[in-house]
Amino acid sequence: MALGLFTSLPSVNSMNWKLEKPRHPLPRAFHRTRMNLKCNACSASLKKSHEESKKRSANYQPTTWSYDFLQSLKNDYAEIYKDKATELEEEVRCMLNSADMGMLTILEMIDDIQRLGLGHRFEKDIKRNLDKISSKEQSSFEAEKSLHATALCFRLLRQHGYEVSQDIFDGFIDDQGSFMAYLHNDIEGMLSLYEASHLAYEGEEILEKAIKQTSMFLKKHLGNSDSINAERVSHALEVPLHHKMIMLEARWHIESYGKREDANPTLLELSKLNFNMAQSVLKGDLQDMSRWWNGLGLRSKLSFSRDRLMECFFWTVGMAFEPEFSSCRKGLTKVTSFITTIDDVYDVYGALDELELFREAVERWDVSAVRDLPDYMKLCFLAFFNSVNEMAYDHLKEHGEDVIPCLTKAVCSSNLMWADLCKAFLQEAKWSCNSITPSFEEYLENAWRSVSGTVILIHAYFLLGGNVSKQALDYLVNYDELLRWPSIIFRLCNDLATSSAEIARGETANSISCYMYETGVSEAEAREHVEKLIQKAWRNMNKYQMDSESTPFARHFVATAINLARIAECTYQHGDGHGAPDSWSKKRISK
């Protein structure tokens, strides 16, 4: 039953979902695709006239996801199979908590549960088992004497915030500091070590060597593996597991796991039911957002802006795919849609004097400020103003807390989120208008804010539910590292995907061109430097996750911040999947 339904899931043409009519067509990507649209913003004609004919256009491609298609999606799967899924879940839970299973069997089952997208169903069971394993960590490793078991245990413990040292791999290292030669015959062990090494902290030399050595080993042996192992190795080398978007990985792993001779049929059936049920909820959320966006009217009134509702919604799925976070996804879809639209106002359409007025209006957070704005900005600001206040009202209604002062503080204060975002947008517009290439440091300090990760995450904090604490808000508005590291990854992945086209157009303000201009290196060397910065940000984020108990943030929020980095890598893996989505992007979203 589940098998048949799963096979009808999204393949590009035949997926379990057919998209519904969007209420709110997504605006542009929050990832800024800078256009070669320079100094018209400064020209006298723009200052004199705000007529549409005088304005610029980036000629963005139209959306490929029609409103009618989105509204036609069937999403009645979740309730039909709820009881069956609950029954299967209890069967798996009994297996996972069986006293007869050895450490490695438990670890492999936890790993499969998580890769299959079922981790949220077994959070307490996973923690209970990892607590036991952590308490006897050293003796467990010594008893197994297996690189695969050691690396898998290390990865799962670190992933869940347990203290575990890289020194646990000392027994596999020779006198020269390399992993022992006999391990080169152990594909399973080297693959597990490769995945574990991506949870390294900054300065952990053993794990840094492990990444290099396992990557070289796996590439070398790729052609010598059987078909199933070759598929696994190729998939791992494309993007390490720790960096993958969870729901896309679940889609892939369900198919891969089903090919294994040792696949647990109960676990496999549950994973298919769970995926289809989650997908059904997502389709309902998407249809709601589609109607919202369509009703807002910005798509037709602000024709210069990108219509990317589906792509914006896809980002929210990457951040919080679990069915219980529907309200979070919907709220973040609104947030990212407005970020995209406002980005296009600054990047494509507005004159500098208009952009300054919009920034002032956001900083004041007063509806009377619209009187000073040109007509196209009035519509944008009012829709934005009303939607943010509505989210605050919904939080008050659901949680009994007046968060409007918190959101107002985050939105209005001169040194805070939305106002800071507009300032960062304005700075980039000025660089472009005046053909200025900033220093790499100056660019990056502005760009990790302009990429909008901070705004997305502060709204996610409220939208995930739970109590709003003053301490947490202070951490957020002072740009805690939990906001900074995912935003840096977001920005640099964006630049890697879009910089070549920008350089060809003569644009100056992106990380690649700034680093080239400042140091005189080639584009290839600049890219290598940026990729190293991305890896450094990941290592710092790994350490933050380990130390998260000392912060006021719940684990779900920390996980959402890490997921922002994952969906950023996913979106820009093969180009600009948000600003200029292609057939590859559509196929991935369909899955």
Q: pLDDT tens across 498-516, in order? A: 887 666 655 668 999 999 9
pLDDT of residue 53: 37
Residue closest to 362 by CA, chosen among 289, 311, 403, 423: 423
Q: Please name the residue that has the structure tokens 């696994």.
A: 232
Torsion of CA 237, 243, 246, 249, to 10 degrees: 0
Does residue 413 lie within any of the structural domains?
no
pLDDT of residue 77: 78
Q: pLDDT tens across 341-354, in order? A: 999 999 888 999 99
Does residue 243 lie within any of the structural domains?
yes
Q: Please name the residue that has the structure tokens 């007046």.
A: 402
User: What one-letter code names the amino acid at 354?
Assistant: E
**Cα(60)–Cα(265) distance, integer angstroms:** 47
Give the range of the structural domain holding residue 474, as residue numbers without chain letter: 437-590
Sorting pLDDT into bands at 50, 70 and 90, what band is 160? Answer: very high
Question: pTM of the predicted model, to two decimals?
Answer: 0.89
Q: pLDDT tens across 241-278, in order? A: 999 999 999 999 999 999 999 999 999 999 999 999 99
Q: pLDDT tens across 165-217, in order? A: 999 999 999 988 889 888 888 999 999 999 999 999 999 999 999 999 999 99
Does residue 280 lie within any of the structural domains?
no
Span of 220-229, 318-327, 399-408, 548-557 with lowest mean pLDDT:
399-408
Does residue 368 lie within any of the structural domains?
no
Tokens at 276, concatenated: 């289809």
Tokens at 171, concatenated: 């027994």
Does residue 404 lie within any of the structural domains?
no
Span of 117-121, 245-249, 402-406, 555-559 with lowest mean pLDDT:
402-406
pLDDT of residue 259: 93
Residue ending a domain, among 263, 294, 323, is 263
Half-sphere exposure of 396 (CA within 13 A, CB side): 12
pLDDT of residue 33: 37
Residue 157 reports pLDDT greater than 90:
yes
Does residue 158 lie within any of the structural domains?
yes
CATH number at residue 579: 1.10.600.10
Q: pLDDT tens across 113-146, in order? A: 999 999 999 999 999 999 999 987 555 555 457 9
Residue ending a domain, among 242, 263, 284, is 263
Instruction: Give the chain's domain count.
Output: 2
Does residue 531 lie within any of the structural domains?
yes
CATH number at residue 214: 1.50.10.130
Tokens at 273, concatenated: 């039911």
Residue 2 reports pLDDT greater than 80:
no
Residue ending a domain, among 236, 263, 290, is 263
- The three-class DSSP label of residue 523 is helix
How high is the mean pLDDT of the chain? 85
Residue 335 reports pLDDT greater than 90:
yes
Rounded to an integer, the average pLDDT of 463-486 is: 88
Does residue 331 lie within any of the structural domains?
no
